[in-house]
């Protein structure tokens, strides 16, 4: 195990997650439900099974050996996570990349990191009673401090902008609606961590089949993602039926003249990037040792770091006061520091 390598993998996952919505911005004349479901087929179905099939040994045999409860709980938590994923996309529409990610992922960090060890009953043994555990807790505290600083900077930036400036940065900006959606999304998105914890026994079965340690988490992703697909597909199909937007896939209705090939390719890219965050997450978690649950904190912190960078790249902060720009970058600095602290704490536990 190599916690520093694990931190690097988590940064790659964070970059993938922070970047997934960028290709969707280029989709033309497709309704939200059309491009979300199109990309989601790659995120939740094609990519998980493809990469698990080529990187693990005897995928179907491993899942066939898995007890039913161990199969069903990851799917169930994946369905709950699906609600978070649905509203995560809406959060980006209403708040923009930087502020939306900070609010959602702040809540997601706390719930996703602390609840699994609390539920398993080893919170004190892992965190409170050891020096390495205390350092990991310090890293979590620094992460939360960084998230709060980024979120406050975003809130103050948006409060200072005129309605016209907000619309220029985020076309459908709505702070109140966005915050409400972000809170719900953050809580439900943390269920992904619960799904991974529930499927933990599958790793041992995959390893016994000959899968290398970097890849034993991939079969669990197939199950959690399947749950996410169920939730998202039901909602998107409802919207497609309600809005009669299904013809857009073929260039009909409001999509007349839409660049269909480009739209499909952009959705495929966005969906695959969404999956890669968890692909790299499982690789990073495999390197974190007994504090594997701290991977969730590293993952969230890295997403916010790269999400903030994308926010500046798309000029969401161009009208913000210099002091607010300095504030948000100080929050990012705290998040970078937190990843170093957590990585160091994990290295002490080896």
- What would the mean pLDDT of 26-31 be, rounded to a whole number? 94
Predicted local distance difference test score (pLDDT) of residue 124: 55
| Token reading at 21 | 């919505």
On the question of pLDDT at 139 being above 90, the answer is: no
The owner of tokens 């100080």 is 330
Whether 169 contacts 96, CB under 8 Å:
yes
Higher pLDDT, 305 or 221: 221
- What would the mean pLDDT of 123-133 be, rounded to a whole number? 67
Rounded distance between C-alpha atoms, residue 70 and residue 250, angstroms: 40
Domain limits at 151? 3-348
Answering whether pTM is above 0.85, one says no
Q: At residue 248, what are phi and psi to the nearest 5 degrees?
A: -65, -25
Question: Is residue 78 exposed (0-12), middle (13-18) or buried (19+ Cβ within 10 Å)?
Answer: buried
Whether 188 contacts 80, CB under 8 Å:
yes
Predicted local distance difference test score (pLDDT) of residue 172: 62
Rounded distance between C-alpha atoms, residue 189 and residue 86, angstroms: 9
Contacts of 154 (CB under 8 A, 6+ apart): 95, 96, 98, 99, 102, 103, 328
On the question of pLDDT at 90 being above 80, the answer is: no
Q: What's the pLDDT band for 151 if we cut at 50, 70, 90?
A: confident
Contacts of 129 (CB under 8 A, 6+ apart): none
The owner of tokens 């998980």 is 48
On the question of pLDDT at 72 being above 90, the answer is: yes
| Token reading at 46 | 């094609």
The owner of tokens 């609600």 is 83
> Among candidates 46, 12, 49, which has minimal Cα distance to 283?
12
Whether 100 contacts 310, CB under 8 Å:
no
> Using CA of residue 267, residue 19, residue 32, residue 195, what is the dihedral sign?
positive
Instruction: Summarize pLDDT for 162-187 with one digit per residue, the tens.
Output: 666 655 555 566 777 777 887 788 77
Higher pLDDT, 213 or 300: 213
Q: Considering its fold, how many domains does the chain have in total?
A: 1
Mean pLDDT estimate for the chain? 84
Instruction: Summarize pLDDT for 243-301 with one digit per residue, the tens.
Output: 999 999 998 888 888 899 999 999 999 999 999 999 998 998 888 766 666 777 788 78
What single-letter DSSP state applies at residue 66? Answer: S
Q: Cα dihedral angle (325, 20, 336, 117), rounded to 10 degrees?
A: 130
């Amino acid at each position: 195990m190599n916690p520093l390598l694990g931190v690097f993998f988590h940064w790659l996952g964070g970059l993938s997650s922070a970047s997934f919505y960028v290709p969707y911005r280029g989709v033309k004349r497709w309704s939200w439900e059309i491009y979300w479901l199109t990309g989601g087929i790659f995120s939740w179905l094609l990519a998980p099974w493809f990469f698990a099939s080529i990187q693990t040994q005897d995928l179907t045999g491993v899942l066939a050996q898995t007890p039913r409860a161990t199969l069903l709980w990851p799917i169930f938590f994946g369905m709950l996570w699906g609600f978070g994923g649905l509203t995560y996309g809406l959060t980006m529409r209403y708040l923009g990349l930087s502020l939306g990610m900070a609010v959602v992922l702040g809540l997601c960090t706390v719930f996703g990191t602390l609840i699994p060890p609390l539920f398993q009953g080893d919170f004190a043994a892992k965190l409170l009673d050891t020096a390495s555990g205390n350092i990991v807790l310090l890293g979590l505290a620094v992460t939360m401090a960084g998230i709060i600083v980024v979120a406050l900077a975003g809130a103050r930036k948006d409060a200072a902008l005129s309605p016209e400036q907000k619309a220029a940065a985020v076309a459908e900006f709505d702070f109140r609606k966005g915050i409400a959606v972000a809170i719900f999304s953050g809580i439900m998105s943390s269920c992904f961590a619960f799904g991974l914890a529930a499927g933990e026994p599958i790793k041992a079965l995959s390893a016994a089949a000959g899968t290398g340690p970097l890849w034993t988490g991939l079969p669990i992703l197939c199950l959690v993602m399947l749950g996410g697909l169920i939730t998202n597909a039901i909602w998107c199909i409802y919207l497609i039926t309600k809005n009669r937007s299904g013809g857009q896939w073929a260039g009909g209705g409001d999509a007349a003249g839409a660049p269909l090939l480009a739209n499909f390719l952009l959705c495929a890219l966005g969906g695959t990037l969404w999956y890669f965050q968890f692909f790299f997450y499982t690789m990073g978690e495999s390197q974190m040792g007994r504090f594997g649950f701290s991977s969730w904190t590293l993952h969230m912190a890295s997403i916010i770091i790269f999400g903030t960078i994308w926010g500046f790249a798309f000029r969401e902060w161009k009208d913000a006061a210099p002091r607010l720009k300095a504030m948000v970058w100080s929050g990012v600095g705290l998040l970078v520091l937190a990843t170093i602290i957590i990585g160091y704490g994990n290295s002490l536990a080896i």
